[in-house]
Amino acid sequence: MKPKFYLTTPIYYVNAAPHIGHAYTTIAADAIRRFKRMQGYYAVLTTGTDEHGQKVGRAAKAAGKTPQEFTDLISAEFRRQWETLGLAIDRFKRTSDPSHHKVVQELFLRCQKNGYIEKGSYTGPYCVFDELYVSDANPGDPCPICGRPTETVTEENYFFKLSAFRDRLLELYEKNPDFIRPETRRNEVLAFVERGLSDLSISRTTIQWGIPVPAEGHHVFYVWFDALTTYMSAVEGEGLWPADLHLIGKEILRFHAVYWPAFLMAADLPLPKQIFAHGWLLFEQDKMSKSKGNIVRATPIQQVAGADALRYFLLREIVFGQDGNFSYDALVNRYNSDLANGLGNLASRTLAMVRQYRGGVLPASAGNAEIGALAGRVIESTIAAYENFEFSKALETLWGLLGAADKYIVEQAPWTLAAKTDDASRQKLDETLYTAAEVLRIACALVYPVIPSSASQIWKQLGMTGELEDFLWKDLRWGQLPAGQTIGEVAPVFPRLDPNKVIPKMRALEEQETARQAALMGKTPPKPVPEEAPAAAKISIDDFAKVDLRVGLVLSAERVKGADKLLHMQVDLGEGAPRGIVAGIAEAYTPEEMIGRKVVIVANLQPRKLRGLVSDGMILAATPEGGQPVLVTLAADVPPGTRLR
């Protein structure tokens, strides 16, 4: 039987729609799950959504929904995000799931039975907005999180006797130096616990949307007792607890490294093996935040550059555990230098040469001994770096092998060898091709956890059978590429990205995605700062009223033969029969992207003919200087035919 490896991401709070910060943690977790499987573990990854609390109740109200309707919607949004990114999620648990409630209540009863729960009351400053007791503030002081004035409240609470666990926690950290990683984070927690711990309020009577405390109808559990327990409830009865790894962002370290093990100790339950806190993702050197409006979403990047481009960037560019910086420029640079020019170029060169010089059949050879020896060392150190969650180092090490292979190919000059017919040259060419292809095979096996889809593609192109995800690293060594194997269909895996084209496209899609998510949350999207434009001649309201702008639903779309820029669409304007409309947007939108989309149409233009097709209306789009057209979208769904004014 395979040993198990159970890992989790945080259970994401549904007061925000998924953004790149959520994606960062979840992508890293997915990469760990994949490499653990390649190490022979039965690796299981849990993620989910944290759905209770006053903030969710408030957000639901703002969106005109019940809390359950609202959390259904946002939770589905998270689930869909992970599907879009191709992440291998094994368990997706929602805290509103009744099977989760039962586990939380059981944990509480166990703690209570062991004497670690007390009823008490809290009197002191409270932030209504953040549902936060600010016990170290004076009455009326601003809330440390949101800055709103606090109110003095008295509330009956259940308390968890956290103060009783100081010594046991310190002993845990002492005996298990790897319990909290990285080291800097461990030191923070140690210092915090050494100062002594206060008891923790774990229930509220002021909140309705939550899990009831057993036998106390008017108390519900407050945040952490509820949310953290998801890690157990997600795999209840499966024999997977305790978790081998909780992967988290550093801002929630204290809850995971102090509260959570204390809850479990109090209930006599096994503790997780390790907590790893990664750093923050900054946007162009600034912390991403809702209020700054500089949050980036993963979907636009995935749509333009592919999920593997995002995965590679996040895990290569940022030292896992430290803060890192995201920018579109850096993403495109990384992609072009390491994937298009690096791995992609090695793959297409090698496979093209095998095709051209050996009819697509991999020649027999032991390969170059020096490169073979280097590959052996790289396999070992890359795997060691993965085990230590040093993704960036793992990739850097592996790219060292790719660089050596490139240099070797240039030195051997296979194009010159191919022109010669003597045995020595033939053998030399065989050795060169074999060496390059074998490096490629090893690289695919080692890079798979980070770029699973692209690595699998190259693996197939090499003619390898079997799924890369089932490959075991213990079987990886130099010289196992089967000679005589016919390579598969060869196609470029990493087409070069032109920053002048793809960056405006990602930014435009990002704006659309922001608007879509805002509409989902029942908010008006943030207005982009208007650009200064020269004042145009003014028209009267009557002039404007002559323009009939209507919402249209694209029913079908196809490319126009011989016209790269044009799409021919059938658009429903709520008129009974759809209209044929031709628009110059084909370089920015595929037919598939257009079908089902709502657009804004100038409905009373005189029909005109384009490439022999009648266009009965015009689609509105904004075209930035030197960029691609970006369609005008609506912040909420309205029926086709709706007039704009």
Please identify, among the stretches 47-55, 136-144, 190-198, 575-583, the one whose residues bind Zn ion according to the rule CB under 5 A.
136-144
Q: Is 140 in the site for Zn ion (CB under 5 A)?
A: no
Q: Which is nearer to Zn ion, 151 or 329 (CB)?
A: 151
Q: Is 131 in the site for Zn ion (CB under 5 A)?
A: no
Question: Is the separation of the CB atoms in 241 and 233 below 8 Å?
Answer: no
User: CA 638 to CA 552: how far, in whole Å?
Assistant: 10
The torsion defined by the Cα of 106, 109, 110 and 114, in degrees rounded to 10, comes to: 180
Q: Which is nearer to Zn ion, 141 or 323 (CB)?
A: 141
Place of tokens 């060392």: 377
Please identify, among the stretches 116-124, 138-146, 333-341, 634-642, the one whose residues bind Zn ion according to the rule CB under 5 A.
138-146
Place of tokens 């390491």: 338
Q: Is 635 in the site for Zn ion (CB under 5 A)?
A: no
Q: Which is nearer to Zn ion, 130 or 236 (CB)?
A: 130
Q: Which is nearer to Zn ion, 146 or 547 (CB)?
A: 146
Question: Is the separation of the CB atoms in 557 and 611 below 8 Å?
Answer: no
Please identify, among the stretches 45-53, 128-136, 222-230, 521-529, the one whose residues bind Zn ion according to the rule CB under 5 A.
128-136
| Smallest distance from Zn ion to CB 147, Å | 7
Binders of Zn ion among residues 274 to 303 (CB under 5 A) are none
Please identify, among the stretches 122-130, 154-162, 308-316, 499-507, the one whose residues bind Zn ion according to the rule CB under 5 A.
122-130
Q: Considering only the C-alpha atoms of the chain, give the largest distance between any 2 of them, rounded to a whole number of Å.
A: 93
Q: Which is nearer to Zn ion, 130 or 587 (CB)?
A: 130
Q: Which is nearer to Zn ion, 80 or 148 (CB)?
A: 148
> In sequence order, which residues have a C-beta less than 8 Å from that of residue 90 and are 6 or more positions away?
33, 44, 45, 46
DSSP annotation of 259: I
Q: At 253, which amino acid appears?
A: L
Residue 535's Cβ-count burial label (10 Å; 0-12, 13-18, 19+) is exposed
| Smallest distance from Zn ion to CB 130, Å | 3
Angle at 287 between CA 282 and CA 291, to 5 degrees: 135
| Smallest distance from Zn ion to CB 125, Å | 10
Question: Is the separation of the CB atoms in 244 and 272 below 8 Å?
Answer: yes
Residue nearest to Zn ion (CB): 143
Q: Which is nearer to Zn ion, 114 or 206 (CB)?
A: 206
User: CA 69 to CA 61: how far, in whole Å?
Assistant: 10
Q: Which is nearer to Zn ion, 146 or 635 (CB)?
A: 146
| Smallest distance from Zn ion to CB 137, Å | 11
User: CA 465 to CA 460: how far, in whole Å?
Assistant: 7
Using the CB atoms, write b or e for 246-278: b if 16+ within 10 Å: bbbbbebbbbbbbbbbbbbbbbebebbbbbbbb
Binders of Zn ion among residues 588 to 607 (CB under 5 A) are none
| Smallest distance from Zn ion to CB 145, Å | 4
Q: Which is nearer to Zn ion, 90 or 130 (CB)?
A: 130
Q: Which is nearer to Zn ion, 26 or 54 (CB)?
A: 54
DSSP annotation of 535: P
| Smallest distance from Zn ion to CB 469, Å | 45
Residue 265 region, left (φ>0) first, then alpha (ψ -120 to 50), else beta?
alpha
> In sequence order, which residues have a C-beta less than 8 Å from that of residue 94 and are 6 or more positions away?
48, 49, 51, 71, 75, 100
Output the six-digit token pair for 423.
């045995």
CA-to-CA dists, residue 289 to 24, 27, 293, 314, 327, angstroms? 15, 20, 6, 18, 15
Interface residue with Zn ion among 127, 395, 553, 560 (CB under 5 A) is 127
| Smallest distance from Zn ion to CB 151, Å | 11
Element containing residue 428 per DSSP (H, E)? helix 423-447
Output the six-digit token pair for 350.
């090698």
User: CA 313 to CA 329: how far, in whole Å?
Assistant: 11
Output the six-digit token pair for 406.
């490139």
Q: Which is nearer to Zn ion, 289 or 322 (CB)?
A: 289
Please identify, among the stretches 137-145, 181-189, 439-447, 525-533, the one whose residues bind Zn ion according to the rule CB under 5 A.
137-145
Interface residue with Zn ion among 62, 145, 364, 384 (CB under 5 A) is 145
| Smallest distance from Zn ion to CB 58, Å | 13
Q: Which is nearer to Zn ion, 145 or 622 (CB)?
A: 145
Please identify, among the stretches 127-135, 187-195, 453-461, 526-534, the one whose residues bind Zn ion according to the rule CB under 5 A.
127-135
Q: Is 45 in the site for Zn ion (CB under 5 A)?
A: no
Interface residue with Zn ion among 130, 188, 199, 548 (CB under 5 A) is 130
Please identify, among the stretches 71-79, 145-153, 218-226, 523-531, the one whose residues bind Zn ion according to the rule CB under 5 A.
145-153
| Smallest distance from Zn ion to CB 189, Å | 24
| Smallest distance from Zn ion to CB 22, Å | 22
- Count of residues that interact with Zn ion, criterion CB under 5 A: 6
| Smallest distance from Zn ion to CB 203, Å | 20
Interface residue with Zn ion among 41, 42, 129, 255 (CB under 5 A) is 129
| Smallest distance from Zn ion to CB 128, Å | 8
Please identify, among the stretches 6-14, 130-138, 279-287, 353-361, the one whose residues bind Zn ion according to the rule CB under 5 A.
130-138
Q: Is 419 in the site for Zn ion (CB under 5 A)?
A: no
| Smallest distance from Zn ion to CB 291, Å | 13
Q: Is 156 in the site for Zn ion (CB under 5 A)?
A: no
Q: Is 384 in the site for Zn ion (CB under 5 A)?
A: no
Residue 214 phi/psi, 5° resolution?
A: -55, 135
Q: Is 143 in the site for Zn ion (CB under 5 A)?
A: yes
Please identify, among the stretches 129-137, 290-298, 432-440, 487-495, the one whose residues bind Zn ion according to the rule CB under 5 A.
129-137
> How many C-alpha atoms does 443 have within 13 Å on its Cβ side?
30
Q: Which is nearer to Zn ion, 137 or 595 (CB)?
A: 137
Residue 442 phi/psi, 5° resolution?
A: -65, -40
User: CA 284 to CA 268: how far, in whole Å?
Assistant: 46
Interface residue with Zn ion among 62, 76, 146, 491 (CB under 5 A) is 146
Please identify, among the stretches 123-131, 216-224, 253-261, 635-643, the one whose residues bind Zn ion according to the rule CB under 5 A.
123-131
Residue 426 phi/psi, 5° resolution?
A: -60, -45
489-492: long-range contacts (C-beta < 8 A, 24 or more apart)? 489/460, 489/461, 490/348, 490/351, 490/352, 490/355, 490/461, 491/457, 491/461, 492/344, 492/348
| Smallest distance from Zn ion to CB 127, Å | 3
Residues that bind Zn ion (CB under 5 A): 127, 129-130, 143, 145-146
